[in-house]
Amino acid sequence: MSRGGSGGRTRVKTSRGRTAQSNRWLERQLNDPYVKRAHAEGYRSRSAYKLIELDERFGLLKGARAILDLGVAPGGWAQVVRKQAPKARIVGIDLLPVDPIEGVDLLQMDFMLDAAPDFLMDALGMAPDLVLSDMAANTTGHTPTDALRTMGLVEAATEFAVQVLRPGGAFVAKVFAGGADSTLVAELKRNFTHVKHAKPPASRKDSSEWYVIAQGFKGHHEPDRDPSA
């Protein structure tokens, strides 16, 4: 690697062991101000600043006592939660192993397993104020397929949040291609007082990543009754 260009920009020398695409990715990482800031401030990923920015805009972590972090790896969001809400109970889940974070219970398992919700709630020990989902399906390279697979995760996270949140609680999920689809938005609006989409500044402009923020959980609905019954 060598430094060159204006403003001290880091340029990556071509290596036989790396493709041009890999070089572009590495150069972007080395010159990304959020990556540099994450290293300087001890966060495990630049994505920590997405949650920081969402929290500044929506006040997600204020007063939160119990939080679930779905798709916790590598732990940047959990670090933010721990810093912003140091007394809160925090439980995270991911398929990937995550290095320990003080004050955070970590489960290495597939959130889509039938047993996962019970494991999460047993670990948390109380109804959450906030359910965070930064989950995304592993990419196949086929954009429509990737979008559908990720939307499946978002739908599962939404269903879970509606089942476990305390009244007044909030749900945040990563979505793609401009936001959640109309069916999911309708479901969120049925269950939450406020539903908005946001793209925090830390989310790269060339990314199709957005977040849906649902606040003011209305509580559990009684099933519709047949008036003739």
Per-residue pLDDT of 126-171, as tens digits, reads 999 999 999 988 777 777 777 788 888 999 999 999 999 999 999 9
* % of the chain surpassing 70 pLDDT: 80
Tokens of 123: 């670990």
Catalytic residue numbers, as ranges: 174
Question: Per-residue confidence at 25, pLDDT binned at 50, 70, 90?
Answer: very low
What mean pLDDT is predicted for residues 15-37? 61
How much is the pLDDT for 13? 53
Residue 197 has pLDDT above 60, yes or no: yes
Place of tokens 């509580």: 219
Give the angle subtended at the CA of 218 by the CAs of 87 and 152, to the nearest 5°.
Answer: 85
d(CA 10, CA 109): 38
Average pLDDT, the chain: 84
Fill in the DSSP letter of residue 10: E
Are 93 and 121 in contact by the 8 Å Cβ rule? The answer is no
pLDDT over 90, % of the chain: 59
Pairwise CA distance, residues 180 & 172, whole Å: 11
Which of 16-20, 32-36, 220-224 has the weakest average pLDDT? 220-224
Query: Sorting pLDDT into bands at 50, 70 and 90, what band is 100?
Result: very high
